[in-house]
Amino acid sequence: MSTPDDSPAGSDWPAEAALSRATGFARASKDIDWVEKSIPCQVACPAGTDIPGYLEAIAREDFARAYEINLSDNIFPAVLGRVCTRPCEPACRHGWEGLGEPVAICFAKRSADDFMIRKDPVVLKALFPASGKAVAIIGGGASGLALARELARWGHGVTVYDRHDRPGGLMEQGIPEFRLPRDVLRREVEQIRLAGVEFILGVDVGCDVTIQQLRASHDAVVVAAGTAQPFLPELPGMDLVGVQHGLGFLRAVNAGELPEVHGRVVVIGGGFTAVDCARISQRLGASDVRMVYRRSAAEMYITQSELQAFEEEGVRYEFLATPVSFGGENGQVSDVRFIRTSRVFGSDGRAACEPIPGSEFSVPADLVLLGTGQVRDASWLGDEQGEDLFHAGDFANGSESLIDAIGHGKQVARKVDHYLMGCDRFEEGVWIEDVDAPTTGRTREMNQRSRTPMPGLASGKRGLRDEVEIGLGKPGATTEAERCYLCNYKFEIDNDLCIYCDRCLKVMPVDHCIVKASALIFDDQDRITGHMPSSSSRDYNMLYLDSNACTRCGACVEVCPVECITLQKVTRVVRPVERA
């Protein structure tokens, strides 16, 4: 089962092989399919982060390498290690039914920054020489900064225009310091500047400079201005004093102001704006804080650790209720009228919330903070359009998570680069390499470890700017990273060498990770879609190792008497095209 590294597999390459070639760069459908099925956490990450790659580095205490992997893929390792919504974790194979809890991928990511011995900012090397092209990016939030870093690294001159005096968008203006210390954010923004990005701050595009002027002086313009306009529901009593959107409240606090908060605070919504408003209100002296969300807890962006923080900090919460009106006395809000809701599934399978007649109830309130979302303000843009004008992040897609914005920024960067250079300068595929070791180093005992909890600051010591989550600690980080199945490693049985002694079947840690098969099932693109189980010794034609069930423990390798099980590392890559 081998072909030359510098050429594609020939006609004699076995169809039952998991990948299209032995080693090197491959991009056949079956190669991409193997990665997408075997490494679901990376597929779930909008930025395509090489999660098993950096978890393996952490397990080996190579924190600098782990940080570099993250920096390359998602731009903000230390920031995301604190505030990512973690779409990778529900996809983690370790959390599948019967296998325990997902790996604490986000907590481990933070440790790459916490324990890296840093003397200087980390700046990745450029991938292309200077192109002579100039790009203007409107908006210095997550998407705009991801775009800027990528395009600068690809040789373009990049200038970010932002109306505020610091770049960072809602990372700077919206997220409380007790979740994201500003020195952490500003250090990673500085790394973007050092990559060659120029910042022009305090400039309001549409007022101080027009979009037409930017288009005239740049080869491409990207609008990444976010969703800065609060969405306000049309409900009776919205004009009462004490009813306000939470985004303005957060911006005031993060700008150094201390809004007057007293009495009873009701926060409406279930996203991070609502959660942060509730926790800040408690810190600013509210006597009672309650968050009410129209959907269920499972449908919130936030994690269970946030709900635990609510309980520790004395914040109450209620689900499946939506406001219908605000009551008041002498122009000041005094209560919120709610109605309970139920989840109803439509014909498309999507859940909606419908009010339950007769279930109204009131909650007293001296301050109401609305976490009801934001929308984009495109009035300043007019009808401007053209092939040199791009939209990115929340401005393009509506309000999403931080990692979604970064991922979309990377996608748009590819489109901008293609437009500027007249071709796609990148190719996507997998890199296959032999491993000079019999196993990955994982053991079956690692499968049984419980997820490592994040230590936190004692509730009585949590001030407005004191970071609550204090990090796993080095032993905790490495122990947690070792739980990763290392799904980027591929064990494969060479059935030409196998003597069918069945020893590997007797040491399997997971049912059906190795199966007796009569044949494999393929689709029209030569991708392996399954197998036909053997029914007796007469049709027992092969042993099939299912990478989607394998925990990479190597127990099968240890007992194989003929060394017919190989081990390789498979990494999904996006790399510059090598041109003649």
CATH number of the domain to which 346 belongs: 3.50.50.60
Question: Is 315 a residue whose pLDDT tops 60?
Answer: yes
Radius of gyration of the chain (CA): 27
> CA torsion sign, 215 to 218 to 224 to 229?
negative
pLDDT for the residue numbered 408: 98
Rounded to an integer, the average pLDDT of 395-413 is 96
pLDDT for the residue numbered 264: 97
**Could you tell me if residue 553 is left (phi over 0), alpha (psi between -120 and 50 degrees) or otherwise beta?**
alpha
pLDDT for the residue numbered 343: 83
- pLDDT tier, 346 (very low <50, low <70, confident <90, very high otherwise): low
pLDDT for the residue numbered 350: 67
Please state, for a pLDDT cut of 90, what percent of the chain lies above it: 83
Same domain membership, residue 346 and residue 241: yes
Same domain membership, residue 354 and residue 333: yes
- Unique residue bearing structure tokens 């939470």: 246
- pLDDT tier, 298 (very low <50, low <70, confident <90, very high otherwise): confident
Same domain membership, residue 316 and residue 368: yes
- pLDDT tier, 580 (very low <50, low <70, confident <90, very high otherwise): low
Rounded to an integer, the average pLDDT of 384-407 is 95
Domain boundary among 354, 373, 392: 373
In a domain, 18, yes or no: no
Same domain membership, residue 444 and residue 476: yes
Number of domains in the chain: 4
- pLDDT tier, 6 (very low <50, low <70, confident <90, very high otherwise): very low
pLDDT per residue as tens digits for the range 442-478:
988 898 999 999 999 999 899 999 999 999 999 999 9
For residue 49, the SS3 value is: coil
pLDDT for the residue numbered 3: 39
Rounded to an integer, the average pLDDT of 318-324 is 95
- pLDDT tier, 510 (very low <50, low <70, confident <90, very high otherwise): confident
In a domain, 531, yes or no: yes
Averaged confidence pLDDT in the chain: 93
pLDDT for the residue numbered 125: 95
Same domain membership, residue 362 and residue 273: yes
Least-confidence region, from 37-46, 270-279, 304-313:
304-313
pLDDT per residue as tens digits for the range 558-571:
999 999 999 999 99
pLDDT for the residue numbered 352: 80
Question: Is 441 a residue whose pLDDT tops 60?
Answer: yes
pLDDT per residue as tens digits for the range 215-272:
999 999 999 999 988 999 999 999 999 999 999 999 999 999 989 899 999 999 998 8
Same domain membership, residue 343 and residue 249: yes
Given the DSSP bridges, would you call strands 321-329 and 316-319 parallel, antiparallel or unpaired?
unpaired
> CA torsion sign, 88 to 93 to 96 to 101?
negative
Question: Is 361 a residue whose pLDDT tops 50?
Answer: yes
Same domain membership, residue 236 and residue 223: no
pLDDT per residue as tens digits for the range 77-125:
999 999 999 999 999 999 998 889 999 999 999 999 999 987 789 999 9
- pLDDT tier, 277 (very low <50, low <70, confident <90, very high otherwise): very high
CA distance 5 to 7: 6
The pTM of the whole model exceeds 0.85: yes
pLDDT for the residue numbered 15: 85
CATH number of the domain within which 509 lies: 3.30.70.20
Q: Provide the terminal-to-terminal Cα distance of the chain, rounded to the nearest Å.
A: 30
Among 311, 261, 271, residue whose Cα is nearest residue 292: 271
Looking at 9-75, list the stretches that DSSP marks H as alpha helix, in order from N- to C-terminal side. Answer: 29-38, 40-44, 51-59, 63-74
Task: Domain of residue 525: give its range.
Answer: 489-576
In a domain, 3, yes or no: no
Same domain membership, residue 357 and residue 253: yes
In a domain, 9, yes or no: no
Cβ neighbours of residue 559 under 8 Å, at least 6 residues apart?
A: 503, 504, 506, 507
Between CA 290 and CA 301, with CA 295 as vertex, the angle to 5 degrees is: 85
Same domain membership, residue 520 and residue 409: no
Distances (CA, A) of 485 to 121, 250, 296, 568: 31, 39, 31, 14
Same domain membership, residue 512 and residue 495: yes
In a domain, 446, yes or no: yes
In a domain, 501, yes or no: yes
Cβ neighbours of residue 16 under 8 Å, at least 6 residues apart?
A: 495, 520, 528, 542
Least-confidence region, from 9-23, 65-79, 93-107, 286-300:
9-23
Please state, for a pLDDT cut of 70, what percent of the chain lies above it: 97
CA distance 418 to 67: 28
Question: Is 210 a residue whose pLDDT tops 70?
Answer: yes
Same domain membership, residue 254 and residue 216: no
In a domain, 7, yes or no: no
CA distance 388 to 215: 8
In a domain, 129, yes or no: no
CA distance 261 to 266: 12
CATH number of the domain within which 110 lies: 1.10.1060
Within 467-513, strands assigned E span 489-493
pLDDT for the residue numbered 335: 97
- pLDDT tier, 347 (very low <50, low <70, confident <90, very high otherwise): low
- pLDDT tier, 300 (very low <50, low <70, confident <90, very high otherwise): confident
> CA torsion sign, 570 to 571 to 574 to 579?
negative
**Could you tell me if residue 330 is left (phi over 0), alpha (psi between -120 and 50 degrees) or otherwise beta?**
left
Same domain membership, residue 498 and residue 468: no
